[in-house]
Structure 1
Amino acid sequence: MNLFPWKKQTEFFSEEEKALLIEAIRRAEQRTSGEVRLFVESHCRYMDASDRAQEIFLQLGMERTAERNATLLYLALKDHQAAVYGDAGIHAKVGTAYWQQVVARMLEEFRHDHLVSGICGGIDALGEALHQYFPYDHASDKNELPDDIVFGS
């Protein structure tokens, strides 16, 4: 899904890499009622990456999950910025320090040119936190948000 359809989508990943990222999202969500989304764009202009992540989170309507347990992994690749934003339910459990740790581990992987594996590691960490506090409930769980990668400009 491209939030800005009038702008040409930049190809950040190969088809194989996209498949790996989507599979990481699905794997993370298999053990939790929580949701994980990935938003990727080139630049984060005029604001902090954390503020941009919150803005995108709201634009995507991610605050509408039943348990308020959605997470957004935000990347501005050309600006080398990343952030994680978690809705009120999961944020109350893990707090800002956890999001910062996830981002720090990803950025370390990026420094070693491990972009996709770094993102997958971040997704795995979000899934682990969600599993701990919002375990999968076979009787009531439904996929509330799409698993696709959202691309900005």
Structure 2
Amino acid sequence: MNIFTRWARHLWLDAADARKLLGRDGLQRLEQAVRDSEARHMGELRLCVEAGLHAPALWRGVSSRDRAVALFSQLRVWDTEHNNGVLIYLLLADRRIEILADRGLHARTGPAVWQGISDQLSAALQAGRYEDGLTEAIQAVSDLLRQHFPLTSAPNRNELPDAVVLI
């Protein structure tokens, strides 16, 4: 994609486009999926959908990975008790998916696991199955968290908000 096409895509889309893509009911179901997931393990999960980057970020050449790392920090996904937070990030304008896991979980899984989840989500998104794909990704991450950080005391303390972040 050339630079002009990238700029046009990013500057054309905004949070309203992301909201429209998932719908109010879809966003509520995704939030509930995160809440249900976190009730079954000791981990924390954040879902962030960003329509497009602002001009200063585009000017600096910020990639989807760079932005996901920044949001991982801003949303405090790294700041969980067991270092097992996970961020699922979509950058709609670039059609990119980034899944970042904190060191406590990443050390137990490795990059191939995250790539597999990302590939499945990508296939669902390409088929126009946004909500279903995100729900499946939440379930896959939940399965990993249940395997490596099972619920040891009920209820699990919710350290991060469950709502989908739309930017």
Structure 1 position 55 matched with structure 2 position 88: no
Structure 1 position 151 matched with structure 2 position 166: yes
User: Residue 9 of structure 1 aligns with which residue?
Assistant: 15
User: Residue 38 of structure 2 aligns with which residue?
Assistant: 29
CA contact (8 A) 2:88 2:98 kept: yes
Secondary structure of residue in 2 paired with 1:143: coil
What's the CA shift for 1:9?
Answer: 3.5
Over the aligned positions, Cα root-mean-square deviation in angstroms equals: 1.6
Q: What is the TM-score normalised by the length of structure 1?
A: 0.88
What's the CA shift for 1:78?
Answer: 2.7
Structure 2, unaligned stretches of length 5 or more?
A: 1-13
* CA distance 1:123–1:139, change in 2 (3 Å): closer
Structure 1 position 94 matched with structure 2 position 109: yes
Corresponding letter in the other structure for 1:9 = A
User: Residue 51 of structure 2 aligns with which residue?
Assistant: 42
Secondary structure of residue in 2 paired with 1:97: helix
User: Residue 99 of structure 2 aligns with which residue?
Assistant: 84
Structure 1, unaligned stretches of length 5 or more?
A: 1-7
Structure 1 position 125 matched with structure 2 position 134: no
- Cα separation, 2, equivalents of 1:104 and 1:27: 23
Secondary structure of residue in 2 paired with 1:82: strand
Percent identity over the alignment?
32
The runs of at least 4 aligned residues of structure 1 exceeding 6 Å deviation read none
